[in-house]
Amino acid sequence: MADFLERIAEAEARSRDLEIQLSDPDVGKEPGTIEKLGRRLGSLRPLLEIGVRYRTAVGELADAKAMLEDEDPEMQELARSEIERLDEELLGLETELRVLLTPRDPNDEKNAIFEIRAGTGGDEAALFAADLFRMYTRYAESMNWKIDTMSVSETDGGGFKEIIASISGSDVFSRFKYEKGVHRVQRVPTTESQGRIHTSTVTVAVMPEAEDVDVDIKSEDLRIDVMRAGGPGGQSVNTTDSAVRITHLPSGLIVQCQDEKSQHKNKAKAMTVLRSRLLALEEDRANAARATERRSQVGTGERSEKIRTYNFPQSRVTDHRAGVTLHKLDQVLAGEMDELLNAVHAQIAAAKEGEFEAPGQDG
């Protein structure tokens, strides 16, 4: 408890210091400085709000414990009831504080690139890939984030073999970065005549969207091919060479985009995906513990590598990392993901307990 109060006090001091810097008339003379300081101050606000509630609850708990010394049995009983309530409230607030005090990934503020692919399960996996994309899209819309499809490979049945999209907004990567992995679905396919439950998988990769300054790409390292775009069953076929495939020769990475009718727009989208993939590779090499991160995000698509299971017959969603089960599958797939995401973030923050510090620091 004392450690949390100390961390909250540090964050409050940091907030006051940032406000003083922002009020300095000379700050506006340096390009980008106001925005940078504003982001740091904004990152502290959730912690400060929880901090006020936490400090208030700590004070009320001390008062309630003092009431136990009262000679009146009714006052003692009231005190015990208050202590029980406040202990539970503080436990919940400490869970939130652990998340907020976990050292921020420098990529947390970035937009996110999603790559969703059908794993094992054929058409049923492709259909669930489309379900997951709708789930993320609806959550993003509820947050007023922007969704931009970069590339899509559809099946005749309306599913996705693969879809790549960017989601842009405030702290998108921070919110979605733990969605990477194998998502397992258990349900009865519409084509199943005997009502048997099938198990399929979808792989999800989430990368921070790289900016031009993050990755240096030399033009001589690229091979750019243009071609005509096509769709499932011969649909959506362009009559011009608008599709773009970019090969990064040193790494062997290949990105293809054909969603736009403009070759220029398809090339820009492909470059965005390529930069993000290269950024992920550079970070992998820089950190030995994450040397195989991109492969570990999606594994092989085998059913045993799941991070989450969506069970339709029981309307159940289970996250195997957080140990959380919600019997509200329809709501989650409709984009109501906060409870699930909060549980995952809290579990990972708890695993890092002892490493946390107040956000808003330099660096």
Which pLDDT score is estimated for 227? Answer: 81
User: For domain 2-101, which CATH number applies: 3.30.70, 1.20.58, 2.60.120, 1.10.3470?
Assistant: 1.20.58
pLDDT at 354: 44
Q: Is the pLDDT of residue 309 over 70?
A: yes
The residues that bridge with 198 in the sheet, in sequence order, are 187
Say whether pLDDT at 297 is over 70.
no
Beta strands at 146-154 and 160-168: parallel, antiparallel or unpaired: antiparallel
**Going by CATH, does the domain composed of 112-212+291-349 fall within 3.30.460.10?**
no
- pLDDT for 87: 94
d(Cα 70, Cα 6) in Å, to the nearest integer?
31
Res 51 pLDDT > 90: yes
The tokens describing 338, both together, are 């906060």
Predicted local confidence at residue 221, as pLDDT? 87
What is the structure's pLDDT at 286? 60
CATH code for the domain defined by 219-286: 3.30.160.20
Q: pLDDT tens digits for 117-151?
A: 999 999 999 999 999 999 999 999 999 999 999 88
Can you give the length of the chain in residues? 363
Burial class (CB in 10 A: 0-12, 13-18, 19+), 11: buried
Highest mean pLDDT range out of 245-259, 293-307, 341-355?
245-259
Give pLDDT tens digits for 156-214: 888 999 999 999 888 899 899 999 999 999 999 877 767 789 999 999 999 988 876 56
Q: For residue 31, name the pLDDT band (cuts at 50, 70, 90).
A: low
Question: Where exactly are the structural domains of the chain?
Answer: 2-101, 112-212+291-349, 219-286
pLDDT value of residue 279: 82
More confident residue, 2 or 22: 22
Q: Across the chain, what does the average pLDDT equal?
A: 83
* Band of residue 48 on the pLDDT scale cut at 50, 70, 90: very high
